[in-house]
Amino acid sequence: MPRPPSSLGRLLLSDNPSRRILRLPLTTTTTRRKRPSNEPWSTRIMAMSSTPVASSATSSSAVSLFPTQPVDQRYTISETRTVPSHIVRPPYAETGKVPSSFFPERVLIHDDASIQRMRAAAQLARRTLDLACAQAKPGLTTDDLDDMVHSAIIEKGAYPSPLNYAGFPKSLCSSVNEVICHGIPSTSRELQLGDVVSFDVSCYLNGVHGDNCATVIVGDEDDTTGDDDKNTPCDWRGVPYKANFDSDQEKEHLEQARNLVLSTRDALYAAIEMCRPGNCLSDVGAAIHHVADTTGYSTVQKYRGHGIGHQFHCAPYVKHFRNRDRLELQPGMIFTIEPMFTMGSEECFEWEDDWTVATVDGSLAAQFEHTILITRDGPPEILTLP
């Protein structure tokens, strides 16, 4: 695994500089059996064969202990939450129809006033993302977290960007285990120890959107560590990892999940390092793909980052794999980078809800996203840093 770029190394190691991230060796094995993904992971492991099998898709040096296929698509969702009438809404909020003008091919160069508004929207999106990550505890449903995110955004006078975007029914995208992105929060999907869950949080404030995403491992926290112990291994937030395990299977699963999450985040920061004026947009995808190759994971190619501003999704569209896109990065460009890594194949499919995107082979997935601004010289400004 490549070392963190020097200019971004501190950010890459932890959002809490007083902590250090523990790197764990990648492991191989195991057989997946076709069992519903809403079973506790420990129950699923008990039913597994100990005989390794060859992958029928893209090979990986890290295969999950989480056998999650076929997925259970029968989760229930609550009523769509309301937004106070005084909050300014994006054009699609009432009808769910995204105007065709939302997909321009011209790349917007933001002026100083627009950049200031983008900073405010991005910061609100980040604070709300941190809330979702901190509250992701065993026993809570993903709908509980959607309620928290929705309330936090409207309390600040903003609109949750996903809500009714092309008909999306919730304010948060919550993607658990084999779900790569666009997961719909559910009242029947309780989080469990070991779940790998990605939260994509976006908001519309003062006429512009802020957008970011992060992945956490539910319950992988050590409650016995003192706050002053700076040598305790921790996750990207500075939260100490669970140190005592109930079984070897639990330990192996959590170690594999940690490596997936940290490698996906590494890829994001490797890509951000490429975002300097005069560089090419294709440098972003090449950097991400290099991290995927080095760590043995697959990078999802179907979904991409995007320009952002008063429009939620617009040019440039950012590929997270090697490509030949030829666009020179210029000061004032603002776009998202949001790599999605999987433990197995990068192939994916949509559930019957037409939103939830899952891995074909049932392997675990992780995603991280920042909104970044190309500056006049030097590294970019990460608008969604805390």
Residue numbers in the known binding site for a divalent metal cation are 200, 211, 306, 338, 369
Q: Over the chain, what HEC string results? A: CCCCCCCCHHHHHCCCCCCEECCCCCCCCCCCCECCCCCCHHHHHHCCCCCCCCCCCCCCCCCCCCCCECCCCCCCCCCCCCCCCCCCCCCCCCCCCCCHHHCCCCCCCCCHHHHHHHHHHHHHHHHHHHHHHHCCCCCCEHHHHHHHHHHHHHHCCCEECCCCHHHCCCCCEEEECCEEECCCCCCCCECCCCCEEEEEEEEEECCEEEEEEEEEECCCCCCCCCCCCCCCEECCCCCECCCCCCCHHHHHHHHHHHHHHHHHHHHHHHHHHCCCCCCECHHHHHHHHHHHHHHCCEECCCCCEEECCCCCCEEEEECCCCCCCCCECCCCCEEEECCEEECCCCCEEECCCCCCEEECCCCCEEECEEEEECCCCCCCEECCCC
Question: Binding site for substrate: residue ranges?
Answer: 182, 313
Question: Binding site: residue ranges?
Answer: 182, 200, 211, 306, 313, 338, 369
